[in-house]
């Protein structure tokens, strides 16, 4: 069961990392234009995507997070490995829960981002966070 969860987290987060990498390279997929992508993926009123270095930075962080469950499986008793996993879990849960708060909505107000965030982005972040938390909890069924 741990291996299955690790592989799912690795594959899905690697896909999200690849998407951010492609955006850094100038792709606007899956939107019709850069403006449409900025409105759907960022949602803070901008009409252009963040600079490539920002997209590449997010892609790199997501890629490290994607492979972290595999690191945990190979080093299950290393305290620092589990602490990093707990931080990743906390970051994802905080991002997910934050997406449902009025303060978040005041800053990220552009459509279709708000609809996509409520329906997909925030719930997915919560699921990722719970997935990472399962590795930290020690109650995980093997």
pLDDT of 83? 95
Element (H, E) at 127: helix 122-137
Residues of the chain below pLDDT 50: 141
Tokens of 76: 């299950």
pLDDT of 141? 47
pLDDT of 140? 59
Residue pLDDT, tens place only, 24-59: 999 999 999 999 999 999 999 999 999 999 999 999
What number of other Cβ atoms are within 10 A of residue 22's Cβ?
14
pLDDT of 137? 83
Which among 51, 72, 84 has a CA at the least distance from the CA of 7?
72
Tokens of 97: 């829960």
Break the chain into its structural domains and give their ranges: 2-137
């Amino acid at each position: 069961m741990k291996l299955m969860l690790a592989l799912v987290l690795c594959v899905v987060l690697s896909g999200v990392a690849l998407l951010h990498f492609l955006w850094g390279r100038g792709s606007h997929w899956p939107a019709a234009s850069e403006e449409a992508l900025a409105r759907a993926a960022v949602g803070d009123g901008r009409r252009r995507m963040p600079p490539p270095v920002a997209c590449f930075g997010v892609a790199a962080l997501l890629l490290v997070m994607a492979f972290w469950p595999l690191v945990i499986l190979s080093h299950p008793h290393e305290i620092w490995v589990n602490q990093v996993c707990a931080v990743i879990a906390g970051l994802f849960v905080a991002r997910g829960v934050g997406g449902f708060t009025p303060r978040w909505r005041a800053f990220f107000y552009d459509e279709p981002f708000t609809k996509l965030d409520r329906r997909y982005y925030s719930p997915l972040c919560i699921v990722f966070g719970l997935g990472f938390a399962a590795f930290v909890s020690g109650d995980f069924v093997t």
